[in-house]
Structure 1
Amino acid sequence: MSDSLTFANLLDDAALLSLEHQLHLEEVLADHNWNVDLQRRHFEFATPGRTIVCTRFHLLGSAAPGPGSWLWAWANPSGFPEELTEASARLRDFGQQYGIPELASAEVPFRALPGSPSEPHLAAGLITEAAKAVTGGWTSYNGDAGGGTRAAFLVEHPDFQLPPPEPARVMRVIQQALTGLLLTDHRRALSSYAAKRGLGATFDRDHARLTGPGFEAMIEFDEYGRVAGIKASLSGG
């Protein structure tokens, strides 16, 4: 990690790979219910065909509409098992090391987050995205905890792991991220995704070239460093 790091940098670093994991999670779960017992350390999804019991999960924290703030799990007075809150404590330590108040502060007002979200699920989503870039846990679940409060988790199961990169999926992720996510630095977001997904990537001032199994994408940047156009082609091999 760079010595100079911001919350916005973390959002860019996580954006595309996180999106791909969440799209995959939606496909795995489809229609589902979820249930968690924090004291028993048990988290499961019930789908029409089967029950998926997470091999491991981490409680990051909760976003509540009353105070309009996010509360990290390590700071919650409810006394959750340390095994479930240790990831949030590592994020606190990381935030203190790099001077990132959104990670280091016990409670974070919604208005202090990018875009000043007013809805708990949006605030929880932003915090969770940054957490993924630090922890390397890429699948998350944001669930209704009652009273409008949203609880955010990182969840693990073999079925949640991504399959190898596939051209149509990679291009969908890139296009959806660029049009629908809050990105500050398009180059950084694309470079991070390429590195984490094992894609080839070269960048110059005005262009980027991404390559992977069976595809090539040429990306053009405008004078502000934003993606201005994408041309993708399939290739043999």
Structure 2
Amino acid sequence: MQTSLTFADLLDDAALLSLEHQLHLEEVLGSHNWNVDLQQQRFEFTGARTITCTAFHLLGSAAPGPASWLWAWANPSGFPEPVVAASASLRDFGLQHGIAELASAEVPFSVLPGSPAEPARAAGLLTEVAKAVTGRWTSYSGEAGGGTRAAFLVEHPDFRLPPPEPARVMRVIQQALAGLPLTDHRRALHSYAVKRGLSADFGAQQAGLAGPGFEAVVEFDEHGRVAGIKATMTSPNAG
């Protein structure tokens, strides 16, 4: 039984489900603008139609000058408590589990995986971990002036994922394996399967995944990385 939890673990836990939510968000929003009023606690997307978030949570901001991330709970601007409550819960989680990146008010880019130089990349890493801890899976980040990037978790019924669909599930898995810097492929796949409500049977050298209309066998190499995936479409009424 694992006795410790790391920043890298949380990134893997979030990776695939976060990716699917962000792909869905792009489809829902299309071409759009965004506006936030922290004091009035209002976050809105405008475009083909207006979407006013039912809730939103400011996580923090990544600034190029100091090359660091500042958690919202530590921001001296003094935002309303409901806006920063999620970030405060992440601080408490970090203290409980000894994860300095969550517990510290300010986080230098240099201590993050890959030592990112760009604020958007640094904000993205911390947002991913925030998703794994809070269970809120849709995020948005935008320019806050002077190259600073502000990151939010946003909520609205339209942002919720539809039931898993074979082509989308396989796209998410393949895109994640090709483009995301996963540390533990097995952990990332297992986390996604469980959170997405898929059937998952993980063995030493392979894993079986199944959902409505598909089955997949994932082969792992000696390093635990995915070596191949064989997917089969099935009848929704099979079994």
When normalised by structure 1's length, the TM-score is 0.98
2:212 corresponds to? 213
CA distance in 2, matches of 1:144, 1:156: 20
SS in 1 for 2:167: helix
> By how many angstroms is 1:188 displaced?
0.4
CA distance in 2, matches of 1:110, 1:217: 38
SS in 2 for 1:93: helix
1:37 corresponds to? 37
CA distance in 2, matches of 1:181, 1:101: 23
1:66 corresponds to? 65
For the pair 1:98 / 2:102, whether they are aligned, the reply is no
Q: How does 1:184-203 map to 2 (within 5 A)?
A: 184-203=183-202
Match for 1:102: what amino acid? E
For the pair 1:121 / 2:141, whether they are aligned, the reply is no
Match for 1:10: what amino acid? L
Is 1:18–1:129's contact at 8 Å kept on the other side of the alignment?
Answer: yes
1:89 corresponds to? 88
Match for 1:113: what amino acid? L
Deviations 1:10-43 (A, max 9, x none): 0000000000000000000010000000000000
Deviations 1:87-144 (A, max 9, x none): 0000000000000001000000001000110000000000000000000000000111
> By how many angstroms is 1:205 displaced?
1.0
2:14 corresponds to? 14
Match for 1:131: what amino acid? A
| Structure 1 portions without partners, runs of 5+ | none
Would you identify which runs of 4 or more consecutive aligned residues in structure 1 move more than 2 Å? none
For the pair 1:142 / 2:141, whether they are aligned, the reply is yes
Match for 2:13: what amino acid? D
CA distance in 1, matches of 2:110, 2:63: 13
Match for 1:224: what amino acid? H
SS in 2 for 1:79: coil
CA distance in 2, matches of 1:110, 1:203: 35
CA distance in 2, matches of 1:220, 1:146: 46
CA distance in 1, matches of 2:66, 2:5: 28
Match for 1:156: what amino acid? E
Q: Size of the alignment, in residue pairs? A: 236
CA distance in 1, matches of 2:3, 2:122: 26
Is 1:3–1:98's contact at 8 Å kept on the other side of the alignment?
Answer: no
> By how many angstroms is 1:2 displaced?
5.2
> By how many angstroms is 1:145 displaced?
0.4
SS in 2 for 1:138: coil
